[in-house]
Structure 1
Amino acid sequence: MRFTAIAMAAGLAVSATAGHGQSLNLTLSGGNPGGLWSLLGAGIDRAAQVADTSAVVTYQATGGGFANIGLLGAGRTDLGLVHDAEAQLALGGEEPFRGPITNMRAIGYMYNWAPMHFFLDRSMAEQYGIDSLDDIAGSGAPIRIGINRSGNITSNIALMMFELVGVTDESLAEAGGQFVRAGANEQGELLQDGRLDMITNGIFINHSSFRAVDTNADVVLLSVPQEVIDATNERFGTGQMVIPAGSYSNQQADVNTVTLGALLAATDAMSDDDAYALTNALITNIDEVRAVHSAMQSLTPELLATPSVLEFHPGAARAYSEAGLSQ
């Protein structure tokens, strides 16, 4: 993988986008080095190279989806990985964006299986009779709830889901609890140390941070009311997913919840030829992307072609149409 780390405060070099008849030469903005998105960058680069040995997809490490949307909106990157929920906020010009960003176009849906999890300490759940997210507000439990840091889309989603069931900063404070901002691995450590009672995040089932919590702490996975799922999906353009029974030690039943997805996005400035060539490379060499991580085994050409909050780039749409994939 061609890898370039960048500082967000510094100016970004705009890559030379390949013209008609030339090999792809694109820049892809992803996330932190070593994370799943950097692995996806490697897989996308490899898929392009298998299709054309002269093709180059250069990966840039950034602050994540919100940063990538800013770069796409300013025309300072060719491609970006973004969550569907982040793109939805950008289209409406909502925080953290200062106005609508409407030049983004989808190349393909990379995954849609990062469900929101809500783990609660089992002793507290049993003491206060909490089985579902909507049991919290009326329970009087002094719950210290870990949510992701500001700037991470899962924190936006979690806060809305809690608000929908009447759990707010004020209601938690009245009961002696609070929201605590912490990253995924930090949340697990704080729960195990007894400094949190509940954690929430939107990551793959049995992600390493969740496995650590399940192994080292006694927790239950709370159910989510359907009306909360529906309202959240309408707001953020997210989806619904089942966390199968038995995924975690104390989970006796299936749990329906909200799930995040990630898109590979370009802008309307990308040529139709480049978008077509890249999309074709992903369709025909999808095993190169699946191979980057076990979590990507469910990726299919059909998923790539799944409609999302972003309309497809015309070049990508042509590639899917020629491949017989519905959109």
Structure 2
Amino acid sequence: MRTTTKTTALLLAGSALLAAASAQADKSDWPENFTVGTASQGGTYYVYGSGWANFIADELDISGGGEVTGGPTQNLALVHNGNAAFGLTTMGPASDAINGKSPLAPGVKMDNVCAMFPMYETPFSITTLADSGIESISDIPDGARIGFGPAASTSDTYFPEILKTLGVEFDRRNGGWTDLGSQLQDGLLDVIAFAAGIPIPAVSQLEVQTDVNIIEFNEDEIKTVLENFPVAEFMIPASTYSTLDEDSRVVSMWNFSIAGCDLPEDFVYEVTKRTMENNDRMRSIHRSAETTIPENISHNTVLPFHPGAARWYEENGYEIDPELIH
């Protein structure tokens, strides 16, 4: 009996070693490190993306980190070209990119970009100093100096066109959100038109240092924008900023994380698994991640899902149209 027990133990030990070796072999084609394309410092993308990169690096014991970029449009190009493994983007720029309409590469269909997981909605909101006298969109004077974020970002791509459609004439400015916040406070800008996940760090910082107005869209403005742009109505909860006494009505666009379609399936599977199964950890990175949950994969109808991500969703009961899997 002792011999049988010993033999069984040896067989179990051998099986464990084989399983460990197999698991190690599965990682043989994984990258040695990875980069996540985020956006400018002071914006939600940078906080969310850098924190998520550090989390995944720790979970998978691989070197990784966030990179400051121009935002969603540039991230699509970086991932497509293999200069970043992962990135964060918005559905509007994503649609343009896969259809060859990216302003960074006109005519180039970016077909090496796959969706991984839903992030959050990006509200389009407007902030001014309280002493500016600007309390509504119609109050914005002709020629107002408006900061739209980094060039070619989601904000810079869509917000100027939205305001033009609403009859606003302006002097267009670009820059990182932190820098634009400083310019607003110093009187070098009249308005900042933000498209970023909430709470926007630059706005929260402004609130601490000075009095601001956070401006909403009225009913007619909402209707006009919904008819002309790929956005949805959105309410910024009053609890988001100390400045707000009630929810603020704006419009929004969904954000998704993206991966190079040629990344190993097992690698992207593990990244998706860790992200989708640890929402508490994700919310500790940025509270907008409360919507970083698998139920929200339905908001992507633009990008094909990476096979590794799709495998995790299907194993856990979330259906994806087979035509939407790379």
Q: TM-score, normalised by structure 2?
A: 0.73
Structure 1 SS opposite 2:184: helix
Matched, 1:72 2:72: no
Matched, 1:100 2:109: yes
Give the deviation of 1:323 after TM superposition: 0.5
Structure 2 SS opposite 1:145: strand
Q: Please, which of 213, 221, 226 is the counterpart of residue 222 of structure 2?
A: 226
Matched, 1:21 2:26: yes
CA distance in 2, matches of 1:62, 1:205: 19
Task: Encode CA deviations 1:224-255: one digit per residue, 9 max, x unaligned.
Answer: 22224424642xxx554211236445544422
Cα gap change, 1:20 to 1:262, in 2 (>3 Å): farther
Matched, 1:45 2:57: yes
Cα gap change, 1:58 to 1:154, in 2 (>3 Å): same
- The gaps in structure 1 that reach 5 residues or longer are 1-17, 50-54, 173-177
CA distance in 2, matches of 1:179, 1:77: 30
CA distance in 2, matches of 1:276, 1:93: 28
Q: Are the equivalent residues in 2 in contact too, given 1:305–1:326 (CA < 8 A)?
A: no
CA distance in 2, matches of 1:291, 1:250: 23
Q: Are the equivalent residues in 2 in contact too, given 1:78–1:270 (CA < 8 A)?
A: yes
CA-based RMSD: 3.3
CA distance in 2, matches of 1:33, 1:212: 15
Match of residue 161 from structure 1:
162
CA distance in 1, matches of 2:62, 2:213: 46
Match of residue 207 from structure 1:
200
Structure 1 SS opposite 2:146: strand
Cα gap change, 1:25 to 1:250, in 2 (>3 Å): same
Structure 1 SS opposite 2:238: coil
Task: Encode CA deviations 1:116-148: one digit per residue, 9 max, x unaligned.
Answer: 22123445446xxx52x2x247xx555332222
Identity over aligned pairs, percent? 22
Counterpart mapping for 1:1-327 below 5 A: 21-22=26-27, 25-26=30-31, 27-31=34-38, 35-36=46-47, 37-47=49-59, 49=60, 56=62, 58-59=64-65, 61-63=67-69, 64-94=71-101, 95-98=103-106, 99-109=108-118, 111-125=119-133, 131=136, 133=137, 135-136=138-139, 143-168=144-169, 172=170, 178-224=171-217, 225-231=221-227, 233-234=229-230, 238-245=231-238, 247-248=240-241, 251-303=244-296, 306-327=299-320
CA distance in 1, matches of 2:233, 2:25: 40
Q: Are the equivalent residues in 2 in contact too, given 1:108–1:305 (CA < 8 A)?
A: no
Amino acid at match of 1:108: F
What is the total number of aligned residue pairs between the two structures? 285
Amino acid at match of 1:43: F
Cα gap change, 1:23 to 1:45, in 2 (>3 Å): farther
| Higher Cα Rg, which structure | 2
CA distance in 2, matches of 1:245, 1:120: 17
Task: Encode CA deviations 1:13-56: one digit per residue, 9 max, x unaligned.
Answer: xxxxx997336724233236983211111122334x2xxxxx53
Cα gap change, 1:229 to 1:32, in 2 (>3 Å): closer
Cα gap change, 1:117 to 1:266, in 2 (>3 Å): same
CA distance in 2, matches of 1:282, 1:24: 21
Give the deviation of 1:159 after TM superposition: 0.6
Q: Are the equivalent residues in 2 in contact too, given 1:223–1:256 (CA < 8 A)?
A: yes
Q: Are the equivalent residues in 2 in contact too, given 1:79–1:266 (CA < 8 A)?
A: yes
Give the deviation of 1:101 after TM superposition: 0.8
Q: TM-score, normalised by structure 1?
A: 0.72
Cα gap change, 1:232 to 1:251, in 2 (>3 Å): farther
Cα gap change, 1:273 to 1:92, in 2 (>3 Å): same
CA distance in 2, matches of 1:264, 1:91: 15
CA distance in 2, matches of 1:256, 1:29: 31
Q: Are the equivalent residues in 2 in contact too, given 1:122–1:218 (CA < 8 A)?
A: yes
Structure 1 SS opposite 2:275: helix
Match of residue 4 from structure 2:
none
